[in-house]
Structure 1
């Protein structure tokens, strides 16, 4: 029997009673997705998954984002979320460190894309001795607790999002002029989570400016909402052992890496599911984004 052990009263659960390394029947898949919709973050310990199994399991949730074929490499459905380079060595490029610092600010994956990420699935292949947890924010309950006048104020607002804004906050030498020269997707500030019908504030570190508002006014509101959501009472932390996998719903929560010792190897592999249906042809939404990166932030560390 599949069971959920809550990590907090309304948010996060450890799932047991199912072997996700094996192909699953439709009824089991629906049960797992329903648990994901309820808890926002689910943890599977000692999964026994390999790369192929992780990709197969992620495909149960929808259309998988991928990196295109290049340099003789086939299309990739797993993203490098650790600190290793393409040769399997610790990546000591200063740009890699700066890039990862942006991941240590609460955010939602790929809000800087027109087609957003729904589920992220992070599997631990190699874990540093010093650890390296992920922290998650219960953004639905945080919305519920907002004052009613704030809910009314933000109900119909839209915001621009930018990857380069979060990287600037992480210490990258990127100017606002560089950010504003580049495409900034627009998303509703209040998002209704399809699986639960609950609302969340869709902000986080990529959220740049309120559409139609001035800069100072925009930042005052966005910073207030982010500070409200990231209070300790809304946060849980998940540690990893080799073989563990954590799934989070980017349309129900925020997350951040809590940091680790960069001198220790960390091999984490992430599959991500897009909220929209699959395109008719294989696509590459990340290629254009990174080909147009600000000059001092041109990175190939996403692959």
Structure 2
């Protein structure tokens, strides 16, 4: 049958015709990679898989990112976003590990606080709450296309500070105590060129706190306006999880965020991230 797809809504597609748990031909794999880059978000349903399978899928997209969760680097097979402790008990809402997960409720792209952010992400649900815990997506390339030419020209060349420490500080969490020193931060172009498709998109998020050479209040207003442009409700896809769902997205074009849920209910998600490359400045408007 081969890879086929249908639209999820304003953005993203659902793919079918491939069982990712079986051998996938090189031609189908190239087609899938191209689909993810062109659409930004691809959903596969009814494909529950072991961690090892999801990790190997990630490796086909590229070298896996060294993931940091709470205490420091962990093996990709342990990259679980969870409110469940090692004994299988649901953590209290005041537990630091639960509070750390709250940062994912802000619009972001993975690892933007690193000099080299993630490219692709592969995300699946292991244990799901009865209500809440959806994941929302928005396209920064679609938002860029909606800007008038004069504003695009103004944005090209601007660089913004993505700061992990500030993202937690506004939630009352001191990340220096978690990392044992300064939390990571990085500056990236506000308008970025996708390294493989060549398409231009915004590179903003709710983890972006300053723009080089711009007064703080002016930068704050601009960042908020650009994020709001990206996440216009008419351009957002909201995914309600079922066991067996696998979402693959391209962080070089997409924003995402988690919806809150009752922390008394367990939620375990498996996240595999693929290392990217240093973001490139958009060349023209």
- Residue 197 of structure 2 corresponds to residue 196 of structure 1: yes
SS at match of 2:82: coil
Unaligned runs of 5+ in 1: 176-180, 278-303
- Alignment match, 2:243: 242
Instruction: Describe the shift of the 1:27–1:168 C-alpha distance in structure 2 as closer, same or farther (beyond 3 A).
Output: same
Evaluate the alpha carbon distance shift between residue 259 and residue 27 of structure 1 in structure 2; reply closer, same or farther with a 3 A threshold: same
Q: What's the secondary structure of 2:138's corresponding residue?
A: strand
Do 1:22 and 1:53's aligned partners in 2 also have CA atoms closer than 8 Å? no
Q: What's the CA shift for 1:212? A: 2.1
- Aligned match of 2:22: 22
Partner in structure 1 of residue 46 of structure 2: 46
Alignment-derived partner of residue 164 in structure 1: 165
Aligned to 1:150: 151
Deviations 1:221-267 (A, max 9, x none): 11111122111112110111112111111111100001222111111
Aligned residues: 269
Alignment of 1:1-303 (within 5 A): 1-9=2-10, 11-67=11-67, 75-92=75-92, 93-172=94-173, 183-276=184-277
Residue of structure 1 equivalent to 2:282: none
Deviation at 1:100, TM superposition (A): 2.2
| 1:95-136 residue CA offsets vs partner (Å, 9 max, x unmatched) | 233322221111111100111111111111111111421000
| Equivalent position SS for 1:108 | coil
Ranges in structure 2 where 5+ consecutive residues have no aligned partner: 177-181, 279-285
Separation in structure 1 between the aligned mates of residue 67 and residue 223 of structure 2, nearest angstrom = 31
SS in 2 for 1:217: helix
1:276 and 1:262 map into 2 onto residues whose CA distance is 35
Q: Secondary structure of the residue that 1:212 maps to in structure 2?
A: coil
Cα distance in 2, alignment partners of residues 104 and 75 from structure 1: 24
Q: CA RMSD in A?
A: 2.4
Evaluate the alpha carbon distance shift between residue 226 and residue 169 of structure 1 in structure 2; reply closer, same or farther with a 3 A threshold: farther
User: Which residue of 2 is the match for residue 288 of structure 1?
Assistant: none
Q: 1:94 to 1:135 in 2, by over 3 A?
A: same
Whether the 8 Å contact between 1:66 and 1:77 is mirrored in structure 2 is: no
8 Å CA contact 2:79, 2:271 repeated in 1: yes
More displaced stretch, 237-246 vs 211-220 = 211-220
The ranges of structure 1 where at least 4 consecutive aligned residues each deviate by more than 6 angstroms after the TM superposition are none
**Alpha-carbon distance, 1:67 to partner:** 4.7
Residue 57 of structure 1 deviates from its aligned partner by 0.7
* 1:66-112 residue CA offsets vs partner (Å, 9 max, x unmatched): 358xx9x9833441123222333222243233322221111111100
Q: How many angstroms does 1:148 deviate by? A: 2.1
Evaluate the alpha carbon distance shift between residue 74 and residue 136 of structure 1 in structure 2; reply closer, same or farther with a 3 A threshold.
Answer: closer
Give yes or no for contact 1:99–1:170 (8 Å, CA) kept in 2.
Answer: no
Contact 1:200 1:252 in 2 (8 A): yes
**CA–CA distance in structure 2, aligned partners of residues 229 and 160 of structure 1:** 18
Larger deviation, residues 165-174 vs 11-20: 165-174
